[in-house]
Structure 1
Amino acid sequence: MTDLTDATAREDDGVVDAPAHFHPGWALVLICSAQLMVVLDSTIANIALPYIQTDLDISQANLSWIVTGYALAFGGLLLLGGRLGDLYGRRRIFMAGVAIFAIASALGGLAENEAMLLGSRGLQGLGAALASPTALALITTTFPAGPLRNRAFSVFAAMSGLGAAVGLVLGGWLTGLDPSWGWRLTFLINVPIGLAAAFFAPRLLPDTDHHAGQLDLPGAVLATGGLLALVFGITRTGNTDSSGQTYGWSDPVALSAIIAGVVLLAVFVLVERRVEHPLLPLRILASRSRGVAFAAMMITPAAMFAMFFFLSQYVQHVMGYSPLRTGFAFLPFAVGMVTGATVSSKLISRIDPRFISGTGTLLAGFALLMFSRLDIDDSAQSILGHLASGSPIGDSVNYWTQIAPFIVIMSLGMGLTFVPMTLVAVHGVRAEDSGIGSGVLNTMQQVGGALGLAVLSTIAAHYTTERAGELVASVRDAAGATAGGTPPAGLQETIGFAAFAHGSTTAFLTGAFMIWTASLIVWSLLSVKHEELAGGEAPAGVHA
């Protein structure tokens, strides 16, 4: 951290007011703490969902909205949040974002009914959409291009990746304290962090000038509406209805929302070409290198969050882990993420980002491939035997040899990918556009995560349902049941877990090819050199 204190706030980067005792190292701690809080909230409530459902009497169909509502507001409002920071000061918008997030978290923790909880999750998404892009922009304007900024981004990227893993650990521990009220702590834990961030922001963060221009209201409405519709439609395809069936890509509501989102975003692009002060200056998208970074940062988080989603359920349902043990199972991810981010920040001054991120995506894809090879004995005799003994169907899977090593490899790959791609994405962006540039990057991650999870959920649901039908038939034959008989409840659950194991491994294999697609894009199209990132030079076309 002391290495970062040599940086100074620079007027030419849009910084016009730094606190009297400005220490960039402490500023980075504050920014990364807020980012950790925002990302952590994407997963911290996942393990607590069954307890929330029981306590607030939420239907199975509406339960997914606890996660979806946050992602919807977060992803839909990111462009607006980034531009507000550019126009009205990033420190001011950052403070507003973390304060709103803290208040929304308090409302969620004190929720007495479904409507209050879902409303608080949407409000949390708004706070996150204001805080996250301005946090990234504050790093860009606080640290000069070169080793200092590289190290700052490595810490920021590590916090972004750590949030998901830490969220699972905290969610499992807090929920385990008391199933009847422990879930409330998964929300309330954000309150002191958010309020502290808002309090210390004017004391630790440099302010940025309020750039000339006005808010592009037509663009804001079109972009926000388009992103909300797109994220909603994509997410709905992976959600389940009241009967437990996945809506899928043929659902008319999902299709209508996706089409509406695409149309609104197309109109948005047309409007942005004509207005004097656009919400999204199209020059930000003019660089091929930045386009590659945006594409890579859209695909790789999709695969990463899908890994968390399916693997966390796999170790609970198939291997029989408790919520707390499930959270701790992901701690190796934190170690690998920090290591990968640290290594990449040191290498980026000597090696072109294509080689670092290209290697990272290859490693992450390999980890997903190995997760797809998790194998259980789901024969009829095995299912009946596990039902009789009460042991989990996946008790033959060894965590330390079949899961933990590949969690580490996955996280190393993510650390190697995120830091260089983030640097490329924000490199060369004008000071007055750094907020919206960061907003585009965050939007790509959120929309990519929603799209990837929806696609993989649909694939997993299809193969799970197909396998469940096969297993029911084979178990009936083995047990000598009549063709029209219904297996007992305990047997249905065991068959369901065995079928889920098959569906999730298929999703892992698909995810591996998704991330290898990102790797192909990086290896073949990314041409920016490490000297450009170290020296602050803009690649050709960046300022177009």
Structure 2
Amino acid sequence: MKSMASMSTNARPIAYRWWALIALALAQFLVVLDASIVNIALPSMGAELHLDTNTLSWVITAYVLPFGGLLLLGGRLSDRFGHRRLFIAGVAGFAAASAAAGLANTGAWLLSARAVQGASAALLAPAALALVTKLFADPRDRAKALGIWGAVAGVGSAAGVLLGGVLTSSFGWPSVFYVNVPVALLVIVASLLLIAKDKPGANESLDMPGAAAVTAGIVALVAALSEVERFGWTSPLTLVLAGAAVVLLAGFVLIERRVTNPLMPLSIFRNKSVLGGNLAMFLIGGATTALFFALSVYMQQVLHYDAMKAGLTQLPLAGALVLIAGAEPALIKKLGTRLSLAFSLILFAAGLIWLSLAPSNASFALHLLGPSIVIGIGVGGAFVSGTELAVHGVADSEAGLASGLVNTSQQIGGAIGLAVLATLSSTRTRSLLDKGISEPQALTGGFAWVFLGAAAFAVIGAIVVLAVVRNSGSRNGIDQSITRKEKGVRS
């Protein structure tokens, strides 16, 4: 008879894995939430810390950049040193940085704390998703778990605006950071109790040159796009930053081809599901980050909603997102992941186009409610099916890599999408003001370009998925491989 201790150790990842999923998903919720929860609080931060509009945009970017730039390294570190260990370390760092951000009394302090938050998120996010894929080896259970995971990511983006409004109005802007601390501590305790230790990977050297090249390249690219708004496309600073980004990212590819243990083996993209899923998540990240930033500013600066009202108006979007996320696994089973993702992206684009028609004196019920619901349905379906597609068919030894890659795609897409679409918005607004258009109408015209640009991202994503991920004897090729796995288990 096995000892009770042995039974407890073996049962923990099986009997309690759904409870463990809640803890892991809650950490992922915090990571995604923190990219959007500060949007509503930005005007209050700017007034108290004396930050201009350009600096305020960096409150978002300072978090997203290290998050996206270090995710691949974070995934590799978790494969090397153990997923649970890196997950807990990342959550602890995230909690400490959140507390520091809430205490900030200068812009430099706030931006530094946000950067540490992003770096900590880069540790915990890939480790968390890798733990999910390991805990749920059965294809059917994994589909359900990834459905929940994708839903959490979508809900976090939408709920950030809602919670940001409620917290800022009730307790002030520091509360949007302080709220992370008790939740993170709860996640750490739950992880220690519910998730068994996993063995570290092989003692291989880490690709630090590759990590440095890709991180610096991404930072230079986003910085170049951000400077376009102030200095233009042909300014020396913009051109130097863009040139540095090209050189660094090209160098990263060369490094990955030559090193023995690459940070990101390029062979992973031979898996068309991984390739298509990551391209889609890149575009989804760009569209959603720009959407929630522009929508929150539009509601407060043009429609003159206070923080509470702006947050509460996101309830229909968040509610639609939650409902469709619960139904998405059934839709995936019927249509396949490929078609489900493409359909969700087209629906997302339709809602964004509808939203772009809202005037400067928009009524919520007449102009915003309908588009919000359609957007929520599209975003919810896109996050669930996009996540499932991006991690399909990856070996356990590269689970951290694949998890880091899909998060990287989403976060870097968000940073680049926000930089590009914010620049287009400012250009459009200035053009309308120069023509004598009133400020509210000019701002509305600029935000309309953000929504239309985000819609273009979503449409391109749908086209990419349909073109890259091919059918293979079933609705999407993925369902067939799952069926083969199940047959192998039964035999």
TM score, norm. by length of structure 1:
0.82
Secondary structure in structure 2 of the residue aligned to 1:48:
helix
Greater shift after overlay, 114-123 or 125-134? 114-123
Q: Does 1:351 align with 2:294?
A: no
Match of 1:367 in 2: 351
- Name the CA shift for 1:328/1:498 in 2 (closer, same or farther; >3 Å): same
> 3-state SS of the aligned residue for 1:471?
coil
User: Quick check: 1:426 aligned with 2:410?
Assistant: no
1:529 maps to 2:477: yes
| Aligned 8 A contact 2:20 2:190 in 1 | no
Q: Secondary structure of the equivalent of 2:357?
A: coil
**Counterpart residue type for residue 26 of structure 1:** W
User: Partners in 2 of 1:407 and 1:135 — Cα distance?
Assistant: 30
1:537 deviation in Å? 4.9
Aligned CA distance change for structure 1 residues 190 and 138 (closer, same or farther; 3 Å): same
| Cα distance per residue 1:336-389 (max 9 Å; x no partner) | 21222222212223322222111111111111111122234xxxxxxxxxxxxx
Q: Distance in 2 between matches of 1:116 and 1:311?
A: 27
How much identity, in percent, do the aligned residues show? 38
Give the root-mean-square deviation of aligned CA atoms: 2.1
Is the 8 Å Cα contact of residues 211 and 263 (structure 2) preserved in structure 1? Answer: yes
- Report the CA distance shift for 1:315/1:136 in structure 2 as closer, same or farther (over 3 A): same
Q: What is residue 489 of structure 2 aligned with on the other side?
A: none
| Structure-1 separation of matches of 2:325 and 2:419 | 28
Report how far residue 320 of structure 1 moved.
2.0
CA distance in structure 2 between the partners assigned to 1:98 and 1:449 by the alignment: 22
What amino acid sits opposite 1:290 in the alignment? V
Could you give the per-residue CA deviations for residues 289-339 of structure 1, whole angstroms, max 9, x where no partner exists? 321111111112211222212222222222221111101111112112122
Mapped to 1, the partners of 2:275 and 2:332 lie a distance apart of 19
State the 1:533 CA deviation. Answer: 5.6
Partners of 1:301 and 1:21 in 2: CA distance: 33
Residue from 220, 242, 265 that aligns with 1:229: 220
Is 1:461 the counterpart of 2:426? The answer is: yes
Contact map agreement 2:359 2:441 (CA 8 A) in 1:
no
- Write the letter of the residue equivalent to 1:50: P
Is the counterpart of residue 28 in structure 1 residue 21 in structure 2?
A: yes
Q: Which structure is higher in helix share?
A: 2
Q: Which amino acid aligns with 2:418?
A: L
What is the aligned counterpart of 1:193 among 183, 186, 191?
183
Instruction: Using the TM superposition, name which of 461-470 and 97-106 deviates more.
Output: 461-470
Q: Report the structure number with the largest CA radius of gyration.
A: 1
Q: How far is the alpha carbon of 1:43 from its aligned partner?
A: 1.6
Equivalenced residue count is 472
Q: Partner of 1:318 in structure 2? A: 302
Q: Report the CA distance shift for 1:250/1:145 in structure 2 as closer, same or farther (over 3 A).
A: farther
Provide closer, same or farther for how the CA distance between residues 361 and 141 of structure 1 changes in structure 2, counting only shifts above 3 A: same
Q: 1: distance between equivalents of 2:482 and 2:311?
A: 38
Secondary structure at the residue paired with 1:207?
coil
Superimposed CA distance per residue, residues 375-409 of structure 1 (whole angstroms, 9 cap, x where no aligned partner): 34xxxxxxxxxxxxxxxxx1xx2212321121111
Kindly provide the CA deviation profile for residues 182-208 of structure 1, in whole angstroms up to 9, marking residues without a partner as x.
111111111111122222212112333
**TM-score normalised by structure 2 residue count:** 0.91
Residue 154 of structure 1 corresponds to 147
1:61-210 correspondence to structure 2 within 5 Å? 61-178=54-171, 182-210=172-200
Query: How many Å apart are 1:107 and its aligned residue?
Result: 0.8
CA 533–96 in structure 1, closer or farther in 2 if over 3 Å, else same = farther
Pairwise CA distance, 1:104:
0.4
CA contact (8 A) 2:147 2:388 kept: no
Asked whether the 8 Å contact 1:75–1:231 carries over to 2, the reply is no
Could you tell which deviates more after superposition, 45-54 or 188-197?
45-54
Alignment of 1:272 with 2:256, yes or no, is: yes
How far apart are the structure 1 equivalents of 2:232 and 2:320? 34
Using the alignment, how far apart are the partners of 2:406 and 2:345 within structure 1? 18
Q: Does 1:506 align with 2:449?
A: yes
Which sections of structure 1, spanning at least 5 residues, go unmatched? 1-15, 239-245, 377-393, 473-494, 539-544
* Structure 1, 525-534 or 168-177: larger mean CA deviation: 525-534
